[in-house]
Amino acid sequence: MFNKKTSTIIGIALAVSFFTVGCATLNKINRDLMGPDRILKKKIAVLPFKDLTGSKDNMLGSTAKNLFRETINEHCEDIIVENDERDRHLEDMAKLDSGATDPVKQNRVARALGLNAILTGTLLDITVTEEKEGFWIFKDTVPVAFLELEIDLYDVETNAVLLSELVKTRVSISDFDRTNPSDNQSHDSRIAKKLLQAAAFQLSEKVCTIMEEEPWKGYVISLEHSVEISAGTDVGLRKGDVLEVFCCEKPIEGNAGKLYLFPERKAGEIKIENLFQHTAVAKIISGADFGKSNCVKLKLE
């Protein structure tokens, strides 16, 4: 038999347990009746990585882009990673005649595509070597490979860096995959792909977490007859949604030629009337002076 004190503790624990389960059940019922929370999906684009490894594989930067895009798409429920066609549009439109990327053009095109962020990266070094593995006298020499890379995640609205991460990943490789361990530049695409897959898996969770915490934003892209914005059914907008429109200040130039944009005053509100996959048309409820590239955010009731 339990003593009185023990019975009291067990009773309190059971009450708390029933209360917690009851609240969870009520919350689920409430969600089922009211519908899911209004979480609009955020869009990002992954651009080809710069390859500074000296690899003979001239497609390594594009391979990195594809692996990161696939991994983020697989692990991030509320993020849309743009496809090749829209990615290429962003790359082509943002290039100068010299081949360099114009950050102002890139930001403008990113807003027209309805992007919330852009992921870029640099492959710094791939090293193939040997390490001792095992215990005591049972240690054996095994081939391993290392990849050093850096990724940067930029916010489209402000051009601020949301994530800048320098990472070194390691994978064990087979004798078949191994190249000459004394020549660090002599590596093949099989090893590089294994390293990139490990890096993408390692970093995708951080990208997901950061993007989930970022508020959704869209942009005004046309004012010819009504207000057109660069977001539609793909992100979860609905007919009748009310959006707040915010003006942007002039760009401020920072270090290394980076431009930063800051939202200014609220210009007014618009209401969604017609929806398409990537765009929506809205009517003005209040306000004026809705210049292009103004930021829109979902008005919460």
Q: What is the pLDDT of residues 212-222, one digit of tens each?
A: 988 898 999 88
Q: What is the dihedral of CA 132, 136, 138, 141, to 10 degrees?
A: 10
Domain ranges for the chain: 1-36, 42-213, 218-298
- The mean pLDDT value of the chain amounts to 77
The class that CATH gives domain 218-298 is mainly beta
Tokens of 268: 């007014």
5 pLDDT tier (thresholds 50, 70, 90): very low
Percent of the chain with pLDDT over 70: 66
CA distance 242 to 228: 13
The SS3 call for residue 117 is: strand
pLDDT tens for 139-154 read 677 788 899 999 999 8
- Given this model, what pLDDT does residue 267 score? 83
CA distance 199 to 201: 5
The pTM is what?
Answer: 0.75
State which H helix or E strand residue 26 sits in. helix 4-34
CA distance 280 to 274: 6
Task: Name every residue whose Cβ is closer than 8 Å to that of residue 277 and which is 6 or more positions away in sequence.
Answer: 232, 233, 234
- The beta strand positions in 156-255, using DSSP E, are 161-172, 218-222, 227-229, 242-248, 252-253
CA distance 75 to 206: 11
pLDDT tens for 226-258 read 899 999 999 999 999 999 998 865 656 555 555
The answer to whether 283 and 273 are in contact (CB under 8 A) is yes
pLDDT at residue 61 is higher than 80: yes
Choosing among 3.40.50.150, 3.40.50.10610, 1.10.760.10, 3.30.540.10, the CATH entry for 42-213 is: 3.40.50.10610
Q: Is 223 exposed, middle or buried (0-12, 13-18, 19+ CB in 10 A)?
A: middle
Q: Is 15 exposed, middle or buried (0-12, 13-18, 19+ CB in 10 A)?
A: exposed
Q: Cα angle at 170 between 168 and 171, to 5 degrees?
A: 155
Tokens of 166: 């320098």
- Given this model, what pLDDT does residue 56 score? 78
State which H helix or E strand residue 88 sits in. helix 84-93
Tokens of 61: 């930067």
- Given this model, what pLDDT does residue 6 score? 47
pLDDT tens for 29-55 read 333 333 344 689 999 999 889 999 887
295 pLDDT tier (thresholds 50, 70, 90): confident
Tokens of 89: 């549009």
CA distance 218 to 229: 7
Tokens of 246: 């915010």
pLDDT tens for 7-16 read 544 444 434 3
Nearest to 49 by CA among 192, 159, 227: 192
pLDDT tens for 70-106 read 999 888 888 999 877 776 667 666 565 555 667 777 7
